[in-house]
Amino acid sequence: MNGFTILRSVQHYVGRIRTVRNEIRTQRFLNTLPADIRKDIGWPDLYQGRVREN
């Protein structure tokens, strides 16, 4: 492994961590919305259906 390959691996790992943290932050925000607004946007039903497909 050369230095470039190691750097790419670290960048990929950091990117995945950033993505997971952003998803958690978004979920927390959506969970704080009033129930009627969550229902209007389909939270969490649409999200859970999309996650299961991946």
Give the domain ranges of the chain.
1-51
Query: pTM for this structure?
Result: 0.68
Please give the pLDDT value at position 15.
97
pLDDT by residue for the chain (54 residues), tens digit each? 677 899 999 999 999 999 999 999 999 999 999 999 998 988 877 666 666 554
Angle, CA of 15, 24 and 42, to the nearest 5°: 120
Amino acid found at 21: R
Long-range Cβ contacts of 3-12 (<8 Å, 24+ apart)? none
Please give the pLDDT value at position 48.
65
Please give the pLDDT value at position 41.
87
CB 30 within 8 A of CB 38: yes
- 32/4 Cα distance (integer angstroms): 42
